[in-house]
Structure 1
Amino acid sequence: MTAFAAVNAVICGAICWRLLMFRRDGARHRPWACWLAYVLIVSSAWAGFEGVVGRAHVGPAGLVINLFLCVAVFRSRGNVCDVLRRPQPYR
């Protein structure tokens, strides 16, 4: 297992965990967001698992992309709609 694969496995595990721990707390239910979150959970868990067993070949670009996705998911507290929402301009 390379260092990139090990770090990527941890990042993908963090993405999966944070999306699984999302609580709506009164937010609207959007079916498309649920499906998108489901696909992200399964794909990040799969990528993390492949990193653990040594089948993943991750380069620096893939690692940076997953790191940015991880930061975006944690900043939005696991809300997929907030990750995709356009930022409001400052006034």
Structure 2
Amino acid sequence: MADLVALFVCSCICWRIVFYRRSGRRYRAGVSMLAYLIALGTGGYALSIALSGPVGQTNPFVLVVLVVLCVMVFKARGNVASVIRVNWGD
């Protein structure tokens, strides 16, 4: 069951980052590389579960981290720079 949730969450993260549109925002190579790595990692994990079945039991703690990352990515509308931005003023 946890594997199917991980498959869904990783797919959502990957698709949201892949279909992000800059719309005039500044390009930053480091953030772009991080977004690429997040999309590659989550998409690869989702594909490995989808194509070969559950490889092993997905750790519930990793699943919590994936769900939190998914919420953050969707709240930022796929903008990884907004996800990693630290606001020290608040």
TM-score by length of 1: 0.89
Report matched runs for 1:13-28 at 5 Å: 13-28=11-26
Alignment correspondent of 2:44: 46
Structure 1 stretches of 4+ with a deviation exceeding 6 A read: none
- The Cα of 1:61 is off from its aligned counterpart by 0.3
SS of the residue 2:20 aligns to: coil
Query: For this pair of structures, how many residues does the alignment match?
Result: 87
Alignment correspondent of 2:72: 72
- 2-side partners of 1:4 and 1:54: how far apart? 9
Q: Which runs of 5+ in 1 are unaligned?
A: none
Q: Would you say the 8 A contact 1:50–1:56 is kept in 2? A: no
TM-score by length of 2: 0.90
Identity rate, percent:
32
SS of the residue 2:26 aligns to: coil
- 2-side partners of 1:22 and 1:66: how far apart? 19
